[in-house]
């Protein structure tokens, strides 16, 4: 048609130049540009290109086409058509006008790069340039094009048109492009896409063929293959990966076609070539690469059910890749690593997990030769993949606490892989592995399993000092996590790694001690654990082989642990002469290190000697610590001992005091006298000295504890300093009150005195034996009580400033620096004052009046004026930081019960202020939990609860409001409700064993707390569930993991709330009236809770929160029911038996109704339930049910005969075999008072999630609430505990889905055709549908499908998908609004984005069909008519139009008359017609089949 039109125009115009001028005139449009292209191309085909025509072509190119290209840069809907037409016309002009025009245009365009019009112009004229004459220009053009493409932000036309045009150019351009590509600096993964863009555009020229055997062969270049591998494994976009697969596939095809051996050369002298071909192994090579490309294509689908059957083919790749003769690699292992990289980089985490597991399992079945690429892959992409926590989740059906399958496979893999490594490479690999662990911040779960895998490697001398340092760095990474147990376990494994892998000859004891100090002793390295014993054994075995330490024997020969520790203590205790005296405390880290090594040396020595443990410890400690004890003995008498030395001695004394109990008391008098002098003689004068004060007080408290253990006797060395210490502190405080402008030293002494008094008060609290026997108030108590509360210490001026002297004694530092951090000092002073006041209030709580009187004289003002004291407490809470408010809460705990009746408003204010502080601390781990515990003890004090419940005033409702807020906070912060419930239950149980019912009397008023505790528990997120699983796994290791022994279980898990409530209820006595009233009230509220959960509109599904709440409600009721049977008047039948009869009677009524349901599954379950209930009724001899016997027996008999065969019989039998219908007995199993049956066995058998299983051990281990050992609640369960969960879901049994896993290798697998996503089109999205399809390489037929008569969106969506798949030209619909319908989109799966849709309403169909007939289309109706043709006999013409009828009425009669032919589908069945979508799909496929076979003929 186009050639005819062009010839007609040229025939009518005698002068082609005039015709061209006419076409160039007027307004530019796509139609005019396309007409100009047709004429120029026809002139070019005729061979007319000289004289006037050449000149005219030159003018058209320069005067019209080039400006047209530049003008089309602005965009618009017609831009793509204009660009293509102008480019093609320009190419024809260049050929008509001669090569000079092409050269001129190319030179101009090169100067204008990277503009899009210049690219289009170059793409048009590049094929017109001549090889010999224009070689320099071609080279410049090629280099500029490649550089532009590699820049990454080039116009799309570079890859779409310019580079393919270069591929058609002469050899110089191709060589220059290859050189430019090869010389480009290897970039990152982000540069892979542009490189592959260039390579794919030049592929056919870069690979040899039969006609061209030049020296340019990309197969022989390593850079080419590394780029392809980067695209296969690491590229993020599908377009880049597809280009890489295309290059690989073409290279393999070319190699097979040429049948010539080749090799690109090894990457190094040891490894195999990146690519090679040998005709001797042609079949093996083709098989390998076909499987490889298939795997890479299937991975694009990102669907695990499609990918899993292909993984066995990956195993075969490894079999091909390793030579059986010499065990070396035949194929470069980097190709296999690309597959795993692709799996790791995908968005599907399940696929990533499958990839990781598949790689880890390789060495279980194969012995692969060593390769540096494998090691780099393990320490690179594999470790990056292992950092994802979700990969470590349990497999379905795996028991709770059994460990992560991936973690166990990782452990086995690392052991196997390292054992196969050569010794010279093992050290390098392990060092790199550990350094990679230290390079990033790991989550708790991955670093735990990686550390565990390292600890499993057999002992070898692989790591030196650098490796030990890397392990220290990993330890620092573990400290970031908040999961304390996981953090501690990781530290244990890293210590075991060090003991197994460190070469002791390359590290010194100093290196080892520095590494040990990186561990937290309170989390991992605890004395007495198996890990501590293992460390001692390791030191004992290797102590003679360590490298000489910097702190070693003087002769260099004695490098034993004992010598090292002796020198360590001596160096630590003596004050270095070169170190200047400083006002700051020495770092306590060195003291902890020295103490740790001393204790280790003691226990290592214990391995050698056979003395009794206590005697051995004391003897060895005396050997090591003689320098310390000697220095301590001189503290009280040597006033000139350097301050640094005294600080160090006391720090070390504090660290080893627990092990040095007997020896230390010999120096107790000297130490206590030194502390007395330092605290009372104005020797502490600087702010920095306050840290020193804390050290002295800690040492004094430790001495007091040791003395109490040995027996507190009058006149002991410690008791002789306490009284002078108190008196001196009181004197200093009294003197400070009268000073107008106190100096820094006086203020520091004031703070020290208050801190000392607070420490003494706490010591008396801990050791009541220190309390004087006198009942009268001591002078110290009266003084402390009379001190003004919340007194803000004035920021002092130094003595030098007062007299105008600036410098200090020890330098030129200005005194202002000494009072830095004064706010911290003030807060410490206020904290210590409230510590003293808390002690006084508890000591004299009986003197606190309920109302303040107008007493003229108060002996203890702070105690006898509680309102003012409470108001001061509220004031100080606004000043103190979070870490200092504990003593204030303790004071409020004593004051509020006394004032709640008379000063309710003030007490409510104290509640509000305290809660505001606690809620603001919820994200602060260190201070939140201690403050929360003090807050709960304050607000929920049993006296406050009792008084508030009795008054029923605002305080009562405020307490309930806070209770609700705490429960709400528990849903996001586990452990809050635990502390509240534990405290309340313990306070209520205080009276259960006694006569007084005071504390328990308030329990009924707060029964909502117990109710919420019984049903408490949130639904964990997946990440929270993973943490719980791993913690359970660590706990199940028991003593095998030292962290379990050292770290105290805080019992903050949600299930402990329910355990606490249930144990509390089990301890209540049903014969006690108050207890029974409480239980009855709770039971009623539980039933209300169950009813409200049933009425909830929230979606109710298996293991949903509503389902769990209902289960918890009835578990609690089962615990309560036996208590209702207790009492003086016992009823004849137990409550449980009575209730079971009621339930069975109602069950019969309900199940009989459901047996008549229309739904088969409902009837099936109802009949099984009826059978179970009826057998129980007959066994219990229910007389009331005798009237129903005939109906029920007939129903069950009919059910047995109805389910006689087939799938129904299988379901009938399987459901009856479920424990609930076959074994369970409601009286014997539910009514047995056994917590294990209620909370573990039945939930497990019923299919509840494992989060709802509570074992009997957890009840027993929760010791905060006592267990009644004689109670049958804690007996073992029934025979049900021996059963396994069954499947009672009614379903058709088919082939197991897991069969794919059992296959070694499938003969055929799914391979999805991967459509190109929209993201790959970038700026070409505005192209028309045909253009977009053409860009994808999609073939478009001449078939038109008309579906205007179809109404249903589902049929239209299916047709749209079918038309797009088989390449129809257009789909005609009645309204384009159908595209937005969700049902249409669900069926079309985005096909409407790739297929032209045209709207033709049914009323317009007649005109549309006539128009298409005029265009040469054959109109074919899909309808059964009297003259219709058989589809099997009909031959479709190329230009066919299919008209589909309406779903019900078919094609209307008036439209049938417009049809050229009707085609019907032959059928064999009874139903008269097919679905319209199915009918259309059959005809569309038949048309496509005939066109593909080339058998289109005129209609028969």
Q: Which residue has the higher pLDDT, 1181 or 671?
A: 671
Q: Given this model, what pLDDT does residue 914 score?
A: 95
Beta bridge partners of 1345: 1371, 1442
User: How would residue 913 be classed by pLDDT, with cut points 50, 70 and 90?
Assistant: very high
Q: Given this model, what pLDDT does residue 973 score?
A: 87
What is the mean predicted confidence (pLDDT) over 425-454?
91
Q: Looking at residue 586, what DSSP letter applies?
A: P
Q: Given this model, what pLDDT does residue 160 score?
A: 72
Report the distance separating Cα 238 and Cα 244, nearest Å: 10
What is the mean predicted confidence (pLDDT) over 518-531?
89
Q: Using one digit for the tens of pLDDT, what is the confidence trace for 863-877? A: 889 999 999 999 999
Q: Given this model, what pLDDT does residue 1203 score?
A: 58
Report the distance separating Cα 773 and Cα 757, nearest Å: 19
Q: Given this model, what pLDDT does residue 454 score?
A: 95
What is the mean predicted confidence (pLDDT) over 1261-1270?
76
Beta bridge partners of 502: 463
User: How would residue 993 be classed by pLDDT, with cut points 50, 70 and 90?
Assistant: low
The two structure tokens encoding residue 1419: 């109109």
- Considering Cα of 494, then 500, then 502, then 505, what sign does the dihedral take? positive
Nearest to 956 by CA among 992, 1022, 1024, 1005: 1005
Mean pLDDT is lowest, of 289-303, 405-419, 971-985, 992-1006, for 992-1006
Q: Using one digit for the tens of pLDDT, what is the confidence trace for 148-198? A: 888 877 777 777 777 777 777 767 778 888 888 888 766 555 688 888 888
Cα–Cα distances (Å) from 409 to 417, 490, 583, 823, 960, in that order, read 12, 18, 56, 55, 51
Cα–Cα distances (Å) from 1329 to 1211, 1343, 1371, 1394, in that order, read 53, 15, 12, 6
Own/partner long-range contacts of 224-228 (Cβ < 8 Å, ≥24 apart): 224/199, 224/264, 225/264, 225/274, 225/275, 226/186, 226/274, 227/192, 227/195, 227/196, 227/199, 228/196, 228/199
Report the distance separating Cα 1206 and Cα 1209, nearest Å: 6
Statement: residue 314 has pLDDT above 50 = yes
CB 1429 within 8 A of CB 1401: no
Q: Using one digit for the tens of pLDDT, what is the confidence trace for 961-988? A: 999 999 999 988 888 999 999 999 988 8
Q: Using one digit for the tens of pLDDT, what is the confidence trace for 41-94? A: 777 777 755 677 788 888 887 888 788 777 766 655 566 677 778 888 888 888
Statement: residue 574 has pLDDT above 50 = yes
What is the mean predicted confidence (pLDDT) over 1143-1161?
77
Statement: residue 832 has pLDDT above 70 = yes
Statement: residue 1325 has pLDDT above 50 = no
- What does the DSSP assignment read for 710-767? H---TT-TTHHHHHHHHHHHHHHHHHHHT-SS-BHHHHHHHHHHHHHHHHHHHHHHH-
Report the distance separating Cα 682 and Cα 752, nearest Å: 10
- Cis before residue 1465, ω within 30 degrees of 0? no
User: How would residue 449 be classed by pLDDT, with cut points 50, 70 and 90?
Assistant: very high
- What does the DSSP assignment read for 514-528? HHHHTS-TTTT--TT
Q: Given this model, what pLDDT does residue 1124 score?
A: 73
Report the distance separating Cα 1100 and Cα 468, nearest Å: 55
Phi, psi of 580 (to 5 degrees): -70, 150
Statement: residue 1342 has pLDDT above 80 = yes
Q: Which residue has the higher pLDDT, 1247 or 1318?
A: 1247
Statement: residue 707 has pLDDT above 50 = yes
User: How would residue 95 be classed by pLDDT, with cut points 50, 70 and 90?
Assistant: confident
List Cβ neighbours of 1275 (8 Å cut-off, separation of 6 or more).
1234, 1236
Angle at 380 between CA 376 and CA 384, to 5 degrees: 160
Q: Given this model, what pLDDT does residue 995 score?
A: 43
Return mean pLDDT, the chain: 81
Q: Which residue has the higher pLDDT, 311 or 955?
A: 955
Angle at 353 between CA 347 and CA 359, to 5 degrees: 120
Q: Which residue has the higher pLDDT, 801 or 582?
A: 582
User: How would residue 992 be classed by pLDDT, with cut points 50, 70 and 90?
Assistant: low
Q: Using one digit for the tens of pLDDT, what is the confidence trace for 756-813? A: 999 999 999 888 888 776 555 678 888 888 888 888 888 876 554 444 444 433 333 3
The two structure tokens encoding residue 446: 């991955």
Beta bridge partners of 508: 547
Report the distance separating Cα 44 and Cα 47, nearest Å: 5
Residue 1267's Cβ-side half-sphere holds a number of Cα atoms within 13 Å equal to 17
Q: Given this model, what pLDDT does residue 580 score?
A: 55
Q: Given this model, what pLDDT does residue 853 score?
A: 62
User: How would residue 628 be classed by pLDDT, with cut points 50, 70 and 90?
Assistant: confident
User: How would residue 613 be classed by pLDDT, with cut points 50, 70 and 90?
Assistant: low
Mean pLDDT is lowest, of 451-460, 1173-1182, 1245-1254, 1384-1393, for 1173-1182
Q: Given this model, what pLDDT does residue 991 score?
A: 57
Report the distance separating Cα 399 and Cα 411, nearest Å: 19
Report the distance separating Cα 647 and Cα 661, nearest Å: 20
Q: Strand 276-277 and strand 262-263: pairing?
A: antiparallel
User: How would residue 1499 be classed by pLDDT, with cut points 50, 70 and 90?
Assistant: very low
Q: Which residue has the higher pLDDT, 169 or 251?
A: 251
The two structure tokens encoding residue 400: 């709770």
For residue 185, count other CB atoms closer than 10 A to its CB.
Answer: 6
Q: Given this model, what pLDDT does residue 401 score?
A: 81
User: How would residue 1230 be classed by pLDDT, with cut points 50, 70 and 90?
Assistant: low
Report the distance separating Cα 752 and Cα 693, nearest Å: 7
Statement: residue 1128 has pLDDT above 60 = no
Cα–Cα distances (Å) from 1448 to 1148, 1350, 1452, 1455, 1475, in that order, read 48, 9, 11, 16, 10
Report the distance separating Cα 117 and Cα 66, nearest Å: 8
For residue 252, count other CB atoms closer than 10 A to its CB.
Answer: 20
Q: Looking at residue 581, what DSSP letter applies?
A: P
Q: Which residue has the higher pLDDT, 121 or 1381?
A: 1381
Terminal Cα-to-Cα distance of the chain (whole angstroms) = 26
CB 221 within 8 A of CB 183: no
For residue 596, count other CB atoms closer than 10 A to its CB.
Answer: 19
What is the mean predicted confidence (pLDDT) over 249-257?
92
Q: Given this model, what pLDDT does residue 848 score?
A: 83
């Amino acid at each position: 048609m186009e050639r005819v039109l062009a010839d007609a125009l040229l025939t009518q115009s005698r002068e082609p130049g005039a015709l061209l001028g006419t076409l160039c005139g007027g307004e530019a449009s796509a139609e005019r540009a396309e007409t100009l292209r047709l004429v120029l191309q026809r002139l070019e085909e005729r061979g007319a290109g000289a004289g006037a025509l050449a000149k005219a072509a030159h003018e058209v190119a320069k005067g019209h086409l080039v400006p047209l290209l530049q003008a089309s840069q602005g965009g618009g809907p017609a831009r793509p058509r204009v660009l293509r037409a102008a480019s093609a016309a320009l190419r024809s002009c260049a050929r008509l006008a001669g090569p000079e025009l092409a050269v001129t245009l190319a030179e101009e365009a090169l100067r204008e790069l990277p503009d899009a019009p210049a690219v289009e112009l170059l793409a048009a004229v590049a094929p017109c340039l001549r090889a010999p004459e224009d070689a320099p220009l071609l080279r410049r053009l090629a280099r500029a094009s490649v550089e532009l493409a590699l820049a990454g932000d080039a116009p799309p036309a570079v890859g779409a048109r310019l580079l393919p045009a270069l591929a058609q150019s002469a050899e110089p351009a191709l060589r220059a492009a290859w050189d430019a590509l090869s010389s480009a600096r290897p970039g990152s993964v982000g540069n892979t896409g542009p490189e592959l863009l260039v390579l794919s555009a030049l592929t056919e020229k870069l690979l040899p063929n039969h006609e061209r055997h030049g020296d340019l062969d990309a197969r022989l270049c390593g850079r080419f293959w590394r780029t392809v591998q980067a695209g296969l494994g690491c590229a993020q976009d599908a377009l880049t990966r597809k280009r890489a697969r295309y290059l690989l596939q073409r290279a393999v095809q070319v190699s097979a076609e040429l049948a010539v051996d080749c090799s690109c050369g090894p990457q190094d002298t040891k490894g195999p070539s990146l690519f090679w071909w040998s005709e001797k192994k042609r079949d093996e090579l083709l098989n390998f690469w076909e499987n490889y490309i298939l795997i890479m294509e299937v991975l694009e689908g990102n669907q695990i059910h499609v990918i899993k059957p292909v993984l066995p083919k990956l195993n075969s790749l490894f079999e091909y890749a390793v030579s059986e003769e010499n065990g070396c690699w035949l194929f470069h292992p980097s190709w296999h690593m690309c597959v795993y990289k692709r799996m790791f980089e995908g968005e599907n985490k399940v696929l990533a997990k499958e990839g990781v597991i598949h790689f880890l399992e390789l060495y279980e079945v194969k012995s692969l030769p060593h390769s540096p690429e494998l090691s780099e892959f393990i320490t690179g992409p594999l470790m990056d993949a292992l950092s994802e926590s979700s990969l470590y989740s349990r497999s379905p059906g795996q028991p709770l606490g059994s460990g992560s399958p991936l973690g166990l496979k990782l452990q086995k893999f690392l052991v196997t892989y390292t054992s196969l490594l050569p010794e010279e490479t093992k050290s390098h690999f392990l060092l790199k592995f550990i350094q990679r662990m230290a390079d990033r911040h790991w989550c708790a779960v991955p670093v735990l399993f990686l550390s565990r895998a390292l600890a499993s490697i057999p002992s070898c001398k692989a790591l030196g000092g650098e490796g030990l340092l890397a392990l220290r760095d990993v330890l620092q990474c573990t400290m970031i996590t908040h999961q304390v147990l996981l953090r501690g376990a990781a530290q244990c494994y890293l210590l075991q790694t060090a003991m197994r892998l460190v070469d002791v000859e390359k590290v010194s004891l100093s290196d080892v001690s520095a590494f040990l100090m990186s561990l937290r002793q309170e989390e991992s390295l605890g004395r007495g654990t198996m890990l501590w014993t293992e460390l001692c054994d390791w030191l004992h075995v290797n102590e003679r082989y360590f490298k000489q330490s910097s702190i070693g024997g003087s002769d260099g020969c004695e490098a034993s642990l004992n010598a090292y520790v002796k020198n360590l203590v001596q160096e630590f205790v003596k004050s270095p002469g070169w170190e200047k005296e400083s006002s700051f405390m020495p770092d306590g880290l060195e003291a902890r290190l020295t103490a740790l090594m001393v204790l280790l040396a003691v226990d290592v020595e214990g391995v050698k000697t056979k003395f009794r443990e206590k005697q051995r410890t004391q003897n060895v400690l005396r050997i090591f610590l003689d320098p310390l004890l000697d220095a301590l003995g001189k503290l009280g008498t040597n006033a000139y001992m350097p301050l640094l030395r005294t600080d160090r001695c006391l720090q070390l004394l504090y660290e080893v005091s627990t092990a040095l109990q007997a020896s230390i008391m010999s120096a107790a008098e000297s130490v206590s006298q030194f502390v007395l002098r330092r605290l009372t003689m104005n020797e502490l004068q600087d702010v920095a000295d306050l840290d020193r004060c804390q050290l002295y007080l800690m040492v004094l408290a430790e001495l007091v504890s040791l003395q109490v253990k040995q027996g507190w006797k009058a006149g002991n060395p410690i008791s002789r300093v306490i009284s002078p210490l108190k008196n001196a502190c009181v004197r200093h405080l009294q003197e400070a009150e009268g000073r107008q402008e106190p100096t820094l030293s006086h203020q520091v002494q004031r703070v020290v005195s208050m801190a000392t008094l607070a420490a003494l008060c706490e010591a008396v609290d801990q050791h009541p034996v220190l309390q004087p026997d006198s009942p009268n108030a001591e002078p110290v108590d009266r003084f402390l009580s009379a001190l003004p509360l919340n007194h803000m210490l004035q920021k002092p001026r130094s003595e030098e400033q007062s007299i105008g002297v600036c410098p200090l004694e020890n330098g030129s530092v200005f005194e202002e620096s000494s009072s830095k951090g004064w706010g911290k000092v003030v807060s410490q002073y206020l904290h210590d004052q409230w510590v003293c006041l808390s002690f006084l209030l508890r000591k004299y709580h009986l003197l606190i009046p309920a109302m303040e009187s107008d007493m003229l004289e108060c002996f203890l003002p702070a105690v006898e004026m509680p309102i003012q004291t409470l108001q001061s407490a509220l004031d100080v809470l606004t000043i103190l930081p979070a870490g200092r408010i504990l003593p204030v809460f303790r004071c409020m705990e004593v004051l509020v019960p006394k004032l709640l009746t008379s000063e309710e408003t003030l007490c409510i204010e104290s509640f509000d202020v305290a809660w505001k502080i606690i809620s603001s601390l919820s994200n602060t781990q260190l201070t939140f939990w201690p403050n929360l515990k003090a807050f709960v003890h304050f607000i929920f004090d049993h006296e406050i609860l009792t008084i508030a419940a009795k008054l029923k005033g605002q305080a009562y409702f405020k307490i309930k409001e806070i209770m609700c807020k705490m429960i709400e906070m528990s849903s996001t912060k586990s452990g809050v409700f635990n502390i509240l419930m534990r405290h309340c239950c313990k306070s209520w149980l205080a009276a259960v064993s006694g006569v007084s019912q005071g504390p328990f009397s308030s329990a009924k008023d707060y029964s909502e707390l117990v109710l919420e505790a019984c049903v408490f528990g949130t639904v964990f997120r997946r990440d929270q569930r993973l943490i719980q699983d791993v913690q359970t796994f660590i706990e199940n290791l028991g003593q095998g993991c030292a962290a379990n022994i050292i770290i105290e279980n805080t019992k903050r898990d949600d299930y402990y709330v329910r355990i606490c409530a249930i144990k509390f209820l089990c301890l209540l006595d049903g014969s006690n009236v108050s207890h029974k009233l409480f239980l009855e009230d709770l039971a009623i509220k539980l039933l209300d809770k169950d009813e409200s959960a049933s009425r909830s509109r929230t979606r109710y599904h298996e293991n949903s929160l509503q389902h769990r709440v209902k289960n918890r409600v009835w578990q609690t009721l089962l615990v309560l029911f036996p208590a209702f049977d207790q009492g003086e008047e016992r009823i004849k039948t137990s409550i449980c038996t009575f209730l079971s009869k009621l339930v069975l009677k109602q069950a019969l009524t309900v199940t009989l109704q459901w047996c008549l349901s229309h739904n088969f599954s409902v009837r099936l379950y109802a009949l099984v339930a009826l059978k179970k209930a009826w057998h129980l009724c007959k066994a219990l001899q229910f007389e009331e049910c005798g009237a129903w016997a005939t109906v029920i027996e007939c129903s069950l008999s009919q059910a047995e005969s109805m389910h006689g065969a087939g799938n129904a019989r299988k379901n009938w039998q399987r459901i009856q075999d479920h424990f609930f219908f076959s074994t369970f007995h409601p009286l014997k199993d539910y009514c047995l008072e056994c917590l294990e049956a209620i909370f573990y066995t039945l939930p497990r058998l019923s299919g509840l999630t494992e989060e709802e299983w509570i074992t009997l051990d957890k009840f027993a281990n929760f010791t905060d609430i006592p267990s009644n050992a004689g109670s049958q609640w804690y007996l073992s369960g029934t025979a049900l505990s021996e059963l396994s969960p069954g499947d009672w879901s009614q379903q058709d049994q088919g082939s197991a889905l897991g069969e794919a896993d059992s296959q070694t290798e499938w003969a055929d697998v799914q391979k999805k055709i991967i459509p190109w996503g929209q993201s790959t089109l970038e700026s070409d999205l505005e192209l028309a549908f045909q253009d977009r399809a053409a860009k994808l390489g999609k073939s478009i037929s001449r078939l038109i499908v008309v579906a205007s008569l179809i109404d249903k969106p589902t049929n239209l969506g299916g047709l749209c998908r079918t038309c797009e798949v088989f390449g129809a030209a257009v789909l005609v619909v009645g309204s384009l609004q159908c595209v937005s319908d969700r049902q249409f989109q669900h069926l079309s799966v985005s096909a409407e984005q790739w297929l032209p849709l045209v709207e033709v309403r049914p009323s317009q169909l007649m005109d549309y069909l006539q128009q298409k007939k005029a265009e040469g289309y054959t109109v074919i109706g899909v309808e059964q008519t009297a003259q219709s043709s058989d589809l099997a006999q009909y031959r479709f013409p190329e230009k066919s139009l299919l008209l589909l009828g309406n779903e019900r009425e078919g094609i209307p009669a008036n439209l049938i008359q417009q049809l050229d032919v009707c085609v019907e589908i032959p059928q064999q069945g009874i139903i008269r017609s097919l679905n319209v979508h199915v009918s259309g799909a059959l005809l569309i496929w038949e048309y496509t089949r005939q066109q593909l076979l080339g058998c289109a003929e005129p209609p028969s």
